[in-house]
């Protein structure tokens, strides 16, 4: 969908230590510093990874965070790396970990007992080679991983961008892309020695095909969150959940409170009875927004609420909640593939941030103001020549003052032809086919915003 060297960034599409306890008051004395600490929405920077990674898998084992495989902007990777969580919640420098047997990206890992499993994914040019293989690594007593070995048991359907969950003694894979977007679920029994039985396809499918979605297992239930609507090219807000019944099979899927923003390529996290949906794309734009929902006793979800945004817009990243900290790792956006790691903690309301001195809090507020000012400054200007509105996008032919014309795909707007607009830089898609319009665009730029130029600005 995009040209090299970047590998499908659109459609393939964390924490200052908790110096106070979760229920502590909003300010306290810093040990020896003599300064009050205040709750500050935001993130701290951790040590960068050795390699930029998007579409990687990540997991925590015994106080060690592992990041495995993925894409570095040019190639699919076999390599892995790990960092230890220090007692104060910060991370050590990253070190190389064991390499996978097969380079793979846009896959998932899951843990059961003393083993970690890596399942499916893609590799090769643009990830077109879909994988059905499974690898397993033993968790050592110090939390590091042993060498990866290939399991004999393979998936029935090769799947990229599938997600995993462990319920009871079964490992499940949900949806993904197998030539088409998939609504099917497979599972395998985990034997006492860690090997897997044969994979079986469940008779009951999910309510929707799910691709680049989030999955989170919570207390015997599994929630499938968001994903990509192939027909309209946008993120879907729908959520469904299930659990194993008394005989060990998944119950019929039930719907739950939808997200505020449909999103795909997102990360998900769980902490303190809240589910979190982080970042991703809504279709035309990378997202930095995060929303949270409390899990009800009956398995349903409360209305999703916004909380502290990510440090930058991104998709294809990982989020890990460990104890009272939240780590976000890697990903990609218009600036490229990321090595960055950021971290934060939670307050008693489930919001994300850290405890800071007044000076640190003021610096954070100033940085947020600068970021918002940059966001309000849109670098490109043109006049709308033609506007085709669909349910997913506004397709615009725009003309710059130098006479150059181009197609834009933007969030749905009512701006008519003749309107002078400003818009950000976007992702150029070549040979993009719109199912809604039944039209092929040799080149079109997807942008996250269009804004009419006011008479005062002209």
Does the structure show a pLDDT above 70 at 26?
no
Lowest mean pLDDT among 23-27, 114-118, 140-144, 449-453: 23-27
| Structure confidence at residue 179 (pLDDT) | 95
23 confidence band (pLDDT: 50, 70, 90): very low
Q: How far is CA 369 from CA 298, 362, 373, 374, 378, in A?
A: 41, 11, 6, 9, 16
| Structure confidence at residue 338 (pLDDT) | 97
* 272 is a domain residue: yes
Dump strand ranges (E) for 85-196: 95-97, 108-112, 115-119, 122-123, 129-130, 134-138, 149-150, 163-167, 170-177, 181-189
Whether residue 421 sits in one domain with residue 334: no
Which phi and psi angles does 433 have, rounded to 5°? -105, 125
Whether residue 209 sits in one domain with residue 100: yes
| Structure confidence at residue 141 (pLDDT) | 97
Whether residue 443 sits in one domain with residue 384: yes
Q: How many domains are contained in the chain?
A: 2
Does the structure show a pLDDT above 70 at 291?
yes
Whether residue 255 sits in one domain with residue 316: yes
* 222 is a domain residue: yes
* DSSP per-residue codes, 215-234: EEEETTEEEEE--EETTTTE
Report the CATH number that the domain containing residue 313 is assigned in CATH. Answer: 2.120.10.80
Q: Final residue of a domain: which of 373, 392, 419?
A: 373
Torsion of CA 175, 224, 134, 333, to 10 degrees: 90
| Structure confidence at residue 11 (pLDDT) | 35
| Structure confidence at residue 71 (pLDDT) | 97
* 18 is a domain residue: no
428 confidence band (pLDDT: 50, 70, 90): confident
| Structure confidence at residue 46 (pLDDT) | 97
Whether residue 430 sits in one domain with residue 312: no
Q: Final residue of a domain: which of 345, 373, 401?
A: 373
Whether residue 125 sits in one domain with residue 217: yes
Q: Which residue has the tokens 């590799």?
A: 123
Q: Final residue of a domain: which of 353, 373, 393?
A: 373
For the chain, give the percent of residues with pLDDT over 70: 92
For residue 438 the two structure tokens come to: 């039944």
Whether residue 74 sits in one domain with residue 164: yes
Does the structure show a pLDDT above 50 at 341?
yes
Does the structure show a pLDDT above 90 at 343?
yes
pLDDT one-digit tens code per residue, 206-219: 999 999 999 999 98
The helix (H) or strand (E) run that includes residue 365 is helix 358-376
Does the structure show a pLDDT above 60 at 4?
no
* 22 is a domain residue: no
Question: Which residue from 166, 53, 156, 168 is spatially nearest to 100, judged by alpha carbons?
Answer: 53
For the chain, give the percent of residues with pLDDT over 90: 77
* 326 is a domain residue: yes
Whether residue 403 sits in one domain with residue 264: no
Whether residue 391 sits in one domain with residue 360: no
| Structure confidence at residue 458 (pLDDT) | 62
For residue 313 the two structure tokens come to: 């817009």
Q: Stretch 421-427: mean pLDDT, rounded?
A: 88
Whether residue 358 sits in one domain with residue 392: no
Q: Stretch 337-355: mean pLDDT, rounded?
A: 97
pLDDT one-digit tens code per residue, 188-247: 999 999 999 999 999 999 999 999 999 999 989 999 999 999 888 889 999 999 999 988
Whether residue 315 sits in one domain with residue 283: yes
* 262 is a domain residue: yes
* 3 is a domain residue: no
Whether residue 404 sits in one domain with residue 351: no
For residue 242 the two structure tokens come to: 């299930």
Torsion of CA 357, 358, 359, 365, to 10 degrees: 110
| Structure confidence at residue 456 (pLDDT) | 66
Lowest mean pLDDT among 26-40, 96-110, 214-228, 259-273: 26-40
Average pLDDT, the chain: 90
Report the CATH number that the domain containing residue 434 is assigned in CATH. Answer: 2.40.50
* 46 is a domain residue: yes
Does the structure show a pLDDT above 50 at 357?
yes
Largest CA distance in the chain: 71
Q: Stretch 74-85: mean pLDDT, rounded?
A: 97
Lowest mean pLDDT among 59-63, 91-95, 308-312, 388-392: 388-392
Buried b (16+ CB within 10 A) or exposed e, 24-49: eeeeeeeeeeeeebbbbbbbbebeeb
Question: Which residue from 317, 291, 310 is spatially nearest to 302, judged by alpha carbons?
Answer: 291
35 confidence band (pLDDT: 50, 70, 90): low
pLDDT one-digit tens code per residue, 122-177: 999 889 999 999 999 999 999 999 999 999 999 999 999 999 999 999 999 999 99
Higher pLDDT, 278 or 126: 278
457 confidence band (pLDDT: 50, 70, 90): low
- Domain residues for the domain of 337 are 38-373
């Amino acid at each position: 969908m995009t040209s090299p060297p970047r590998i499908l960034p659109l459609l393939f599409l964390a924490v200052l230590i908790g110096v106070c306890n979760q229920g502590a008051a909003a300010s306290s004395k810093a040990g020896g510093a003599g300064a009050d600490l205040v709750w500050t929405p935001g993130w701290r920077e951790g040590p960068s990874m050795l390699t930029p990674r998007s579409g990687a898998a990540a997991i925590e084992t015994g106080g060690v965070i592992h990041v495995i495989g993925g894409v570095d902007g040019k190639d699919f990777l076999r390599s892995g790396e790990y960092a230890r969580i220090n007692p104060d919640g910060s991370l050590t420098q990253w070190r190389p970990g064991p390499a996978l047997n097969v380079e793979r990206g846009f896959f998932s890992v899951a843990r059961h007992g003393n083993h970690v499993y890596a399942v499916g994914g893609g590799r090769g040019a643009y990830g077109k080679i879909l994988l059905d293989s499974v690898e397993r690594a033993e968790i050592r007593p110090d939390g590091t991983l042993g060498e990866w070995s290939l399991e004999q048991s393979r998936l029935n359907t090769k799947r990229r961008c599938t997600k995993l969950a462990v319920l009871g003694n079964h490992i499940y894979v949900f949806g993904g892309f197998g030539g088409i977007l998939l609504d099917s679920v497979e599972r395998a029994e985990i034997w006492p020695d860690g090997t897997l039985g044969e994979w079986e396809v469940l008779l009951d499918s999910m309510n929707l095909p799910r691709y680049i979605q989030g999955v989170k297992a919570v207390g015997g239930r599994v929630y499938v969150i968001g994903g990509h609507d192939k027909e309209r090219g946008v993120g879907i807000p729908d959520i469904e959940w299930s659990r194993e019944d008394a005989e060990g099979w998944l119950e019929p899927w039930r719907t739950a409170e939808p997200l505020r923003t449909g999103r795909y390529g997102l990360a998900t996290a769980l902490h303190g009875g809240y589910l979190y949906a982080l970042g991703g794309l809504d279709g035309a734009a990378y997202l930095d927004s995060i929303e949270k929902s409390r899990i009800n006793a009956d398995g349903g979800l409360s209305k999703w609420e916004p909380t502290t945004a990510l440090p930058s817009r991104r998709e294809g990243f990982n989020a890990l909640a460990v104890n009272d900290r939240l780590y976000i790792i890697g990903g990609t956006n218009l600036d490229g593939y990321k090595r960055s790691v950021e971290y934060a903690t939670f307050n008693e309301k489930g919001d994300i941030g850290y405890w800071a001195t007044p000076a640190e809090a003021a610096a954070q507020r100033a940085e947020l103001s600068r970021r918002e000012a940059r966001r309000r400054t849109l670098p490109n200007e043109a006049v709308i020549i033609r506007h085709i509105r669909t349910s997913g996008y506004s397709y615009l032919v725009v003309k710059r003052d130098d006479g150059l014309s181009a197609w834009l795909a933007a969030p749905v707007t009512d701006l008519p032809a003749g309107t002078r607009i400003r818009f950000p830089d976007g992702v150029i898609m070549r040979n993009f086919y719109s199912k809604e319009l039944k039209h092929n665009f040799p080149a079109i730029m997807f942008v996250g915003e269009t804004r009419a130029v006011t008479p005062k600005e002209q």
